[in-house]
Structure 1
Amino acid sequence: MDKYSETTFTCMTQHPGFVANCLNSWVLDVAYLQYQHQLEFSQLIIYRHTAYRQLVRWCWGIVGRDNRLPLPSCVFNKTRKTFPSPNGKYTGFKWPT
């Protein structure tokens, strides 16, 4: 049992693990090493995409290729604020085709 299992959070971004695993650029640098063959973007985009992948792995484990999950808007808002797009445009969630 982890130390936060008895704590109620109204938003995933309030959990200390979110900041530590999904917004820490040092952690994202290391996590990116396993994704680098799939992501070839600018540094902020790399951090943002890696942060989303980190959150999925943290919450649901490895879900597999093309098994996408819509994430809570609070996660997108916090991640985009931390790692903004240089042009202010974002793709958003897309179901696999």
Structure 2
Amino acid sequence: CCQEIRQTRGMAAEESTQCITEHEGFSEVCLARHALRAVYNRYNQCYRKSIPNEENKRSRFMAYRMMVHWCWGFLGKELRVHLPSCAVSAIRQKFPSENGDYTGFNYE
């Protein structure tokens, strides 16, 4: 839950919400398809890493990254954080997998 993580608890408290997914910024930063597409284009230009062509999978990947940048800022190379399950669930609901398969937390 987001209330167990200092960074997301603080973000939720900014708007007097009980859950980070209720924060106005969450939908703007993590669920806006066109914004995520623009961020992906920039990511691809900088890193030239291959991300699958399935749009929802790409959107989930970028939404997770944006959640980290929004709540924690830049972490640095190979530093990872666990995202709260409420945020992951909201992102998966907005951008569902075609076959229902999802990859959990990954240190790669």
| Partner SS for 1:44 | helix
What is the identity percentage for the equivalent residue pairs of Structure 1 and Structure 2? 39
- Mapped to 2, the partners of 1:60 and 1:80 lie a distance apart of 21
TM-score calculated relative to the size of structure 2? 0.78
Asked if 1 retains the 8 angstrom alpha-carbon contact of 2:30 and 2:63, the reply is yes
Question: 1:25 and 1:53, CA in 2 relative to 1: closer, same or farther beyond 3 A?
Answer: same
**Unaligned residue ranges in structure 1 (runs of 5+):** none
| 1:43 aligned residue | 55
| Partner SS for 1:49 | helix
Structure (1/2) with the larger helix percentage: 2
Please identify runs of 4+ aligned residues in structure 1 that moved more than 6 A: none
2:49 alignment partner AA: Q
2:51 alignment partner AA: E
- The count of corresponding residues between Structure 1 and Structure 2 is 93
1:38 CA displacement:
2.3
| Partner SS for 1:79 | helix
| Partner SS for 2:57 | helix
TM-score calculated relative to the size of structure 1? 0.86
**Unaligned residue ranges in structure 2 (runs of 5+):** 1-11
